[in-house]
Amino acid sequence: MVLGAILGTQRLRPISAAARSVATLLLEIGIIVFLARLGTQIGPTLMKLGVIGPAIALQEVGHIFGTVIIALPVAVALGLGRVAIGATWSIDRESFLAYAIQRFGVRSPEYRGVFSVWLLGSLFGAVFISLLAGFLGGLSIFDPLALARDLAWAPHR
């Protein structure tokens, strides 16, 4: 993603509007195929939810409290509008990207919010959560299985 951002700055020769519209369509198709592939991997792992039980339910309560109750009002107060709704209505996993494409389209503010949070979580969240889990694991406060569960279930981290 970082390499694509560097190469996509268009300093030498700008891309035409027709090429951008074709690229948008191809990107949308690529994301949908990617998400379909991920969807086929979900079925076999559903039985793990029964083993985790209350821990995953508590994590989801935290997602709702943190995003909807705290982050959404702050983002709307900062003037982010519909982008804030897209950024906070989900935990921004791939399935939410697919839903936002289908429901709102790739040019909508809601999709930009979902995609922004997904992208930032993918790039920076992985590093942050890895360092945090390593630090907390070294303190011997938490059970290592609890830290591993959070790494396995945290969105894009």
Residue ranges per domain, the chain?
2-153
With 70 as the cut, is the pLDDT of residue 128 above it? yes
State the average pLDDT over residues 42-66.
74
Q: How confident is the model at residue 116 (pLDDT cuts 50, 70, 90)?
A: confident
* Residue 110 · residue 85 · CB < 8 Å: yes
Per-residue pLDDT at 9 = 67
State the average pLDDT over residues 119-128.
82
Q: How confident is the model at residue 77 (pLDDT cuts 50, 70, 90)?
A: very high
Predicted TM-score (pTM) of the model is: 0.59
Q: Which residue has the tokens 């930009």?
A: 112
State the average pLDDT over residues 37-57.
73
How far apart are the C-alpha atoms of 112 and 122, rounded to whole Å?
15
**Helix, coil or strand: residue 84:** helix
How far apart are the C-alpha atoms of 90 and 141, rounded to whole Å?
30
Ranking 13-22, 72-81, 109-118 by mean pLDDT, the lowest is 13-22
